[in-house]
Chains A and B, each alone.
Chain A
Amino acid sequence: MDSYKVLVVDDEVEFLETLVKRLSKRDLEVHGLDSGEKALEFLEQDYADVVVLDVKMPGMDGIETLRELKKRHPMIEVIMLTGHANMEVAIQGMELGAFDYLMKPMEIDELLYKIQDAHKKKSIQEAKIQMMEKIIEQEE
C-alpha cells in the first residue's frame, strides 16, 4: 500500500514515543503530538490521513478535539484510543464520526490494521468524490 501520514496524539509522552517509533517501523509516516490543541494547529499547516487520538488528555480532551477536527477536516479518519474503558464516551466518540475506538493496551498490529482500514475508507471516499467532480466537469 502506498505510504500515507498518521498523526498520533497522546499526553503520555512515553507511550506516545513508543507508539510513533513502532508505527514508523511499519512503513508509515508518523508524527506524534502531546495535546489536542497542538494536533489542530498541526493540521492547519500540514495534513494527515489518519489521526490516532487519546481520549483523556489535560486541556482539550479527545472528544473535544475529535469534534473540532471533524468540523474542520471531515475527511480525516480518527481512531480513538483510551486507557479508561467508558461505554458512553466510546459511543459518543463513534457518533461524532470516529472510525473506531480501541482500548489500551492494544496489540500494535491491531492498531495498524485499524489505521490501514481507516485509510482505505478514506481513499475510497476520495475516489468517489473525484469521480463526481469528473462527472460535473463532463456535464458542464
Chain B
Amino acid sequence: MVSISKLFNRFFSGKSRYDLADAEEIRTDFKRRYHHFKLLLNSNNKALEIMTEMEEALKGVLPFGMQFVRSRCTAVSTNVWQIVRHLNELAPGRYKALDDRFKEIQTGINPFIKPKELPRNGPLVMPLLTVDTAHVDQVGSKMANLGELKKQLDVNISDGFVITAGAYHRFMEYNDLQAEIDRRIQATDVEDPNQGISLSGSIQQLIINSTLPEDVVEAIEDQYGDLEGRRGKGITVALRSSALGEDMAGVSFAGQYRSELNVSGENILDAYKWIIASKYSHTAMAYRLSRGIRDEGLAMCVGCTGMVDAVSGGVTYSRNPVDREDTSIVINSVWGLPKSVVDGSVASDIFIIDRTEPMRVIRKEIPFKEQKFMCYAKEGVCRMDMVGDKGGLASLAEEQAVELARLASKAEEYYGMPQDMEWAIDHDGSIIVLQCRPLQRTDLRKTRDSVSLSSRELNAPLCEGGLTASPGVSSGSAYIVQKEMDILQFPEGAVLVTSQALPRWAVLLSKAAGVVTEQGSIAGHLANVAREFGVPAIFGIPDIRNILKDGQQITMDADFLNIYDGQIDSLLKDRPSPRNLMEGSPIFEALKGAASKIVSLNLLDPASPAFRPENCKTLHDITRFCHEKSVEEMFRFGKDHHFPERSSKQLYIHVPMKWWILNLDDGFNEEVHGKHVRLENIASIPMLALWDGISAKPWEGPPPVDGKGFMSVMFRATTNTALVPGVRSKFADRNYFMISKNYCSLSSRLGFHFSIIEALVSERDAENYISFQFKGGAADDKRRYKRVLFIGEILEKYDFIINIREDNLIARIEGRDHQFMKDRLKLLGYLTIHTRQLDMIMANEASVNYYRSKIMNDIHDLIK
C-alpha cells in the first residue's frame, strides 16, 4: 500500500503524464473547483442582495423590526463566511488573513444586534409610596413619575404597589416565552395586517396561558394583603401598564397597552397577565414597528392601585398641544371615570385656563355628555346613560378647574417640561392623580398663504368646525371605518372617517393621510398618536359619516378646521414632507451600526496594492475581494494547468477570432483537444446569448471625431500612457470568456475601455444574475463620465440597477427568468461592441443624439 505522502506527491507533483485515470481525476478536480466557484457566486449574489436590502431599509421610508435587522445580519454573515470558505477551497492557504478579518468584523457587528441585557435582580414588587424616579428601570416611567410627584409635591395618589420589571422577566423566563415569541414574529410578514392580527392573537394567547411563577404570585398576594390591611378588606384595584422605555423622547406610546379597572383581589393575577399580553396587541406591535422601537428592553411593569370611584375625571394638558405660542392650560373632563376622555368615546367638557396668576377659566365648552363610565360594586366598570339633565351640566366647578390647572402647572415646573396629567375626583372632592407624563406638542399654521386664500380653487368647504386634534393639511379619499374588520381593507393614503376617536384606529395612522371623527377629545390616545405621526386630525364634526361619501376625494385643513371636496393643490403645496419615523429610532440605529460593518465598500481598485485581505474593513470588502480573487483563481488554474482539454481555446468562426475561451466545467458540448473551439460546440447558455448580441449588427467603426474630441484623447495619452487601468492584469490582455453551461464571464478591452460581464443563467430563477462593469476610455474625464451616463441610461431602461462613480459603471440585475436574462445579455453583448470609442463624441450633442437613437432602435430589434 502506498503511503499518504506518496499519494500526496502524486496528486500535487504537477507531472504532466496523462493516462486515462489522470484525465478523469483532473476532470473531477475541475468539477469540484467549479462547484465551489458556483457556490461562491451564489453566496456572493445573495450577500450583495441583502446588502442592497439593508441600504434600502436605511432610507428609513419603510418600517422594520429587530427581527429584520437580526435575520439580515445573520444571513449576510453566513453567506460571506461561505464565500471565504469556497475561496479557501480554490486557493488553500493563500488568503489566510481573511478568516481573522471576518471574525473581527463579525465581533464588531454583534453589539448592535445583541438582545439588551435586562436587569435581573431587584424586587418583584414595590409599594408605590417607596417609588420615585430613581426606580424607573424597575417600575417604568409612568409609576416612577407618580411616586416622584407624591414625594416631591405631595399630590394625592392612590395607594398601591408596582409589579416590577424583575417580576416580568421572571415570568417570561420561567415559561421561556421570549424565544417562542421571537420565532413567531420571524415567521410572519408583520406589515401584512392580516398576518399581524393573527400573530398578535397567537402571542397574547400564549402569554395568557402561561403560568406565573410561585414567587411572583406570592409577592403580589402579599402586597395585596398589605393594601387590604391599610385600605380595607376586599378593596378593588386598577391595574395600569407602566412599561420600560415609555419615557423615550418623542415617543408617546399613547393607549398602546391595556388597563384593567376595578379588579377584585381574586382576579389580580389574571388581569396582570392580560396586561403583559397587551405588549403584543396588534396596536402596540404596529406602533413599535412604525416607530422602530425594540421589543426586548421593553419590560412591562404594572401599577396596581386602589380603584378611585370617580365623580368626574379627565386629562389636563399644562400647555396647548397644537400651538406652542399658546400658554393656556387645557382641561378635558367628563362625568365618572376619565376613561371616556382617553378612549375618545364621549364628547368631553373643555376648560381653558389662563396661567397668569390669579389663574382663571377664560373659556369653557360644555357639550351634552350622554354617557359615563362607572364602577360596579364588586368588579368591573360599565358605561351608563346619563339620566335627567345632569349630562348637560359641567363636570367640574370652575374652582376645581383652577385647582387642577395649578397642579399641572406645578408638575410642569417640577419636571421642566409640559405635562399630560390624568386625574379623578372622588366623592370627597379630592383630586387624585392617576398618571403624569411629558406632553407631546406640535404646531399649526397661524395664517394661510394669501394666494391660496384668494384662489378660485377654494370653493366653499363641505364642512367647517370641530377641534384640531393634530394640525396640518392633507388630501386623500375618504374611507369610512366602522368595525375592526375595516382595518384590513383600509387603503394606503386614505382619510380615516369614523364616529368615535377610539385608540384601536391608531394602527391605521401609519397608512392614513388624515383622520376625521364625529366625536373624541384632543386629549385622547388617538389624538396623541396622530400628532406623533404628523397625521392631520379633526375631531368632533357631527354627522361627518353622512356628509362624506366613501371614496370621495377630499382635502382637509386641520389648522383652520375645513374640509373641501377634491384635491386642492394650493392648500397642499406648503405642507411639510412627511416625518421619517424610522430615522433615529433604536431599531434604525441598530441597523445603521451593523450596516457600518457590512455595506460600505472600501476596496475599490483590484489593481491597487491596497487590495489585500488585511484591508477588508467590512463584509462588503471581503465579498468584493473574494469575488475578484475567485475569478482570478479560476482563470489562473485553467490557464496554467497543462491539461490540453482545459487550456484556453480560441473561438473559431470561419477564421480564428480575437476571443479566447476557458471551459470551467461543462461549457462545451464535447471535449476539445485542439487550439480552436467552434461556436456550435459551445454549450454555455449565457455565452451564447452574449454572442448573439456581439454578432447581431456590424460595427460601423470608430465614430467620426471632431477636433476637440481628438485633442482630448491626445491630452489624456500624454498624462496616462497605459490608458487602461490595469485591472486583472493578465486576464485583461485578451478578450476572455470563462464558461460553464450556466455561467459565463467575459472580460474584454475593446477600444480603450475595459468591461467585465458576469452572468449565471439556469432554471433556478432566484439564483440568476448579470453584473456588468465598465470603466475607462481614451477621452478626458468629462467625456468618459458622459459615456458611462449614456450607457447607464440605456441599461436603466432595461431594468438594470446602476451605480456610477467617476468613469466606473456597475450594473446589476438579478432573480429574473431565463428568457429575460438571455435578452439582457444580448443587449450587453451589443453594447460592448457598439459603445466603443463613443466617449470621444460625448461633448457633441448632435452625435450623441444620433448614436442614442441608433442604439435604441438596434436594441429594440434585438430583443423585441
Contacts and interface: CB of A to CB of B under 8 A. Distances in A.
B187 interface: yes
Contact of A105 (B25, B42, B81, B187): B187
Contact of B106 (A91, A109, A113, A139): A91
A68 B75 CA distance: 24
27 contacts: A84-B179, A84-B183, A85-B67, A86-B70, A86-B74, A87-B73, A87-B77, A87-B106, A87-B109, A90-B77, A91-B77, A91-B78, A94-B81, A117-B39, A121-B35, A121-B39, A124-B32, A127-B28, A128-B29, A131-B25, A131-B28, A135-B7, A135-B10, A135-B21, A136-B2, A139-B1, A140-B1
Nearest to B72: A85
A103 B74 contact: yes
B58 to A, nearest CB: 18
Nearest to B19: A138
Interface string B371-412: 000000000000000000000000000000000000000000
Contacts of A135: 7, 10, 21, 25
B267 interface: no
Nearest to A107: B766
A87 B110 contact: yes
B550 interface: no
A109 B32 contact: no
A86 B69 CA distance: 11
A18 B21 CA distance: 45
B110 A88 contact: yes
A136 B1 contact: yes
A124 B665 CA distance: 13
Contacts of A59: none
A120 to B, nearest CB: 6
Interface residues of B, number: 38
Interface in A86-123: 86-88, 90-91, 94, 100-101, 103-105, 107, 109-110, 113, 117, 120-121
Nearest to B1: A140
Interface centre among B1, B42, B81, B766 (most CB of A within 10 A): B81
A87 B21 CA distance: 44
A100 B825 CA distance: 30
A134 interface: yes
Contacts of B7: 132, 135-136
A84 B78 contact: no
Chain B, interface SS category: helix
B54 to A, nearest CB: 14
A109 B773 CA distance: 30
Given A84-B182, A124-B31, A103 B24 contact: no
Given A104-B187, A128-B28, A138 B21 contact: yes
Contacts of A121: 35, 39
Interface of B: 1-2, 6-7, 10, 21, 24-25, 28-29, 31-32, 35, 39, 42, 67, 70-71, 73-75, 77-78, 81-82, 85, 106, 109-110, 113, 179, 182-183, 186-187, 764, 766-767
Given A103-B74, A140-B2, 10 more contacts: A56-B183, A90-B74, A90-B78, A91-B106, A94-B81, A94-B82, A103-B186, A104-B186, A105-B187, A139-B6
A83 B187 contact: yes
**Most B Cβ at <10 Å: residue of A84, A113, A121, A128:** A84
- 7 smallest CB-CB distances across A and B, nearest first, come from A85-B71, A83-B183, A85-B70, A85-B74, A139-B2, A101-B78, A87-B74
A53 to B, nearest CB: 14
A103 B183 CA distance: 10
Instruction: Please classify the interface of chain A as helix (H, G, I), strand (E, B), loop, or mixed, using the class held by over half of its residues.
Output: helix
A131 B21 contact: yes
A88 to B, nearest CB: 7
Contacts of A124: 28, 31-32, 35
Contacts of A88: 110
Contacts of A101: 74, 78
Nearest to A138: B21
A74 B75 CA distance: 25
Chain A CB count within 10 A is highest, among B10, B75, B85, for B75
Interface in A46-71: 56
Given A120-B35, A121-B35, A128-B32, A100 B78 contact: yes
A108 B78 CA distance: 19
B28 A103 contact: no
A136 B31 CA distance: 22
B25 to A, nearest CB: 5
A87 B70 contact: yes
A109 to B, nearest CB: 7
A110 B766 contact: yes
Given A135-B10, A136-B7, A139-B2, A103 B75 contact: yes
A94 B75 CA distance: 12
A97 B49 CA distance: 25
A135 to B, nearest CB: 7
A87 B766 contact: no
A91 B81 contact: yes
A132 B1 CA distance: 12
A138 B24 CA distance: 15
A32 B468 CA distance: 61
A105 to B, nearest CB: 5
A117 B742 CA distance: 14
Nearest to A98: B78
A22 to B, nearest CB: 16
Contacts of B1: 136, 139-140
B179 A113 contact: no
A128 B21 CA distance: 11
A138 B2 CA distance: 10
B22 to A, nearest CB: 9
B183 A134 contact: no
A134 B21 contact: yes
B82 A100 contact: yes
A7 B413 CA distance: 68
A4 B67 CA distance: 35
Give the residue among A87, A103, A132 with the most B Cβ atoms within 10 A: A87
A101 B76 CA distance: 11
A131 B766 CA distance: 34
A127 B25 CA distance: 9
Nearest to A103: B71
A121 B42 CA distance: 14
A113 B28 contact: no
A91 B76 CA distance: 11
A131 B24 CA distance: 8
A140 B73 CA distance: 52
Contacts of A56: 179, 183
Nearest to B188: A105
Nearest to A95: B81
Contacts of B74: 85-87, 90, 101, 103
